[in-house]
A and B are shown apart, each in its own frame.
Chain A
Amino acid sequence: MRKVIFATIIILILATSLVKNSTKELEDKIFMVNENIRPLKSELGDVLLEFNYLSSPDKLTKYQSQYFEKDLIKIDITKIKKLTKKNNHINVSDFIEKTKDE
């Protein structure tokens, strides 16, 4: 009986050390991946900042007047249509339902 208990304890200790070993290896890999992500994240932030600046409404309006002949026009919401698919058939309806007082 005692031998069984001893054997179990030794097996458990060995198993723990093996599991811990593989966990440590995984931790190392995660650490390496995280370290590689850090500069990428920073680079992404800088690129996004550049993108946000270049595509800001203020910049886009300037580019529009600089490169296009036609002015931007306001969208009339009553002209926006809604497409719904039903039994392989597409229905076109008004996006905004007209109210009685309009």
Chain B
Amino acid sequence: MNDKKNNIILEEYEDEFSYKKSKTNLNIEFNRIAFIFFVFLIISIIYSIQLLHLGSVKKKVNNIKPLIIKKNYRADIVDRNGNYLVKTVSSIDIGINPIEVIDKKKLLINLKLIFPNKDYIKISKKLEKNKYFYLEKKITADNYEKIMMLGDKSIKSEEKLTRIYPQKNLFSHIIGQIDDDNKGISGLEKSFDKKLKKIKEPLKLTVDTDIQFLIREELIKFHSIFRSKGSTAILMNVNNGDIISMVSYPDFDLNKRETVNDVNFINRATKGVYELGSVFKTFTVAAGLEEGLIKTDTEFLNLEKRLKCGKNIISEYDKKIPSDLTVEQILIRSGNIGSVRIGQKLEIEKLKLFLEKIGVLSKIDFDIEEVGEPIPFRWGKCKLATVSFGHGITTTPLQLAKGYAIITNGGFEIKPSLVQKKLEDNQKQKRIIKKGVSKQINEILRKIVTTKEGTAGFANIRGFEVGGKTGTAEKAIVGGYTRKAKVNTFASIFPTSKPKYVMVVLLDEPKTSKDYIYKYKNKIGSYKGTPFNTAGWTSVEVAGKIIEKIGPILATKYIEN
């Protein structure tokens, strides 16, 4: 009985199952119709969209084209105020393929009408040679239209790129040159070659055209007064390393595209490696203050007038210099023996470490590749003595400017730069010298300019609080030094109460002038002729004149700095 009941239940279950099955079949049929409609709808919508936008799709292809064309593209270069320093312009050169000329006589007559001043005997000879030649390079728009109107198949036009330098000589060492294949061969054109071919916006530099012009003018003026072999000046922001001006004279006109082989045309600011003399004494004193071994009022008593170290004799330049001097007086009076004593107190390791820290001993990492490498030397007792007063040690004027910037800006690391950095890069500041060293150094540098004993009185320009240190060095020759050839340097900062700028002026082998009239800054009166071939009478005067000219512009134009 129980089995029978069970069977009935199974049947009922089967019925239920068959009912469900039929219900599902109905559903599939409905979905099929809806699905077909849906697919048709989607296809028709997609098709309608494609139809509507077929035109715009075509235009998009056109849009890409002009970007591919410029194979020879090279970005422009502008100064910090957006003035063009280099601009790429496309020009057209006209060439003639003599093989394709049908009527030579007719062609020559037509060409004579367009270019009446050309030598047609030469052109006629070239036509006979059956070799392709250029008739006119960088043709004007008018002449191009006229020559194309001739409709001669032998006349070929070639579009080329030309780099125009509206400031001519002003930035020759900074910008550098490119070759005929659009490849940078010197200066920023070389070091930023890839970037210039890639970027769409102009490359913005930190330099200021007006300031650069004024500084170059002064260097040229004093080049003839002091008959120097060459000269250089660097003006840099002490807080972020932005180079506002960097002039090396003699220079050359970039538009002429000349091959410069004369060594005298090197970039003295970055490539020239010099023994710079007493400007290094500031580093010795700063190192002593940094190590806490001396204070500005620390006295050095019974200083000798002459010192013998190995074969070398170290003596004072100023014969009237007292035997008892404080650290401050040693720097103001530029005492050699006093500097040696400070160096000896520091010992080799500490002085070496300090000079390495401020970046004067090794090759500098800079925006252009033309940088000199300071000559390496072996440290010893005598070397320590000579390095303390800036002899037997070499560096570039750019590295000197960097060193002065660090020791006067509060002790913060900076990286000299010609190309404008991003804002956040400028704000990163790493202290590498103890707080307080700069303040003491700046006060002494100011006294070198303002006091009677100081060596840089001619740079005391009213309103700018100039401070600085002079350096007169004899040039090294085989087996020693020559008194005939000197390198006179003045490393200055202004304003000393809160330094903003460092300026280095270097004159390479200047001579004295008989006729130049100096106007005293710290007393009334003037002096005719250069009595001594020292930095105090040459490069300081140049720096003073430069600051007098550029100072008001810097103070008003860059007021936000």
Contacts and interface: CB of A to CB of B under 8 A. Distances in A.
Nearest to A99: B465
Given A74-B548, A101-B446, A58 B167 contact: yes
Given A24-B56, A58-B168, A102-B462, A13 B213 contact: no
B45 A75 contact: no
B209 interface: yes
Interface stretch (A44-52, A62-70, A85-93): A44-52
A76 B555 CA distance: 11
Nearest to A98: B463
A74 B549 contact: yes
Interface residues of B, number: 41
Nearest to B82: A48
Contacts of B315: none
A14 interface: yes
A71 B558 CA distance: 26
Interface stretch (B7-15, B47-55, B117-125, B330-338): B47-55
A78 B555 CA distance: 11
Interface stretch (B83-91, B391-399, B412-420, B477-485): B83-91
A34 B42 CA distance: 34
Interface string B31-50: 00010001001100100110
B450 interface: yes
Nearest to B451: A101
Interface in B72-103: 76, 83-84, 87, 89
A56 interface: yes
Contact of B462 (A34, A49, A78): A78
B49 A20 contact: yes
Given A53-B166, A78-B462, A80-B552, A17 B59 contact: no
B556 interface: yes
Nearest to A9: B38
A63 B474 CA distance: 42
Given A52-B83, A95-B555, A24 B53 contact: yes
Instruction: Name which of A10, A48, A78 has the most chain B CB atoms within 10 A of its CB.
Output: A48
A101 B168 contact: no
B151 interface: no
A38 B66 contact: yes
Interface residues of A, number: 35
A1 interface: no
B59 A13 contact: no
Nearest to B52: A21
A74 B87 CA distance: 32
B111 interface: no
Contact of A14 (B45, B446, B463, B551): B45
A31 B167 contact: no
Contacts, number: 85
Given A13-B42, A58-B167, A45 B76 contact: yes
A77 B463 contact: yes
Given A13-B45, A57-B209, A96-B555, A49 B464 contact: no
Given A46-B89, A52-B83, A56-B166, A17 B48 contact: yes
B353 interface: no
Interface in B206-232: 209-210, 213-214
A80 B34 contact: no
Contacts of B45: 13-14, 17
Interface string B542-556: 000000110110011
Contacts of B53: 20-21, 24
Contacts of A96: 463-464, 555
Contacts of B549: 74
A49 B89 contact: yes
Contacts of A102: 462-463, 465
Interface in A14-29: 14, 17, 20-21, 24-25, 27-28
Given A28-B56, A77-B555, A17 B464 contact: no
B476 interface: no
B63 interface: yes
A96 B551 CA distance: 11
A77 B214 contact: no
A8 to B, nearest CB: 13
A70 B549 CA distance: 18
Given A31-B60, A56-B167, 12 more contacts: A13-B41, A24-B52, A31-B63, A45-B76, A49-B89, A56-B209, A57-B210, A58-B170, A74-B549, A95-B556, A99-B497, A101-B446
17 contacts: A10-B41, A13-B41, A20-B53, A21-B52, A24-B53, A28-B56, A31-B60, A48-B84, A52-B83, A57-B209, A58-B168, A58-B170, A74-B549, A95-B556, A96-B463, A96-B464, A101-B450
Interface of A: 6, 10, 13-14, 17, 20-21, 24-25, 27-28, 31, 34, 38, 45-46, 48-49, 52-53, 56-58, 74-78, 80, 95-96, 98-99, 101-102
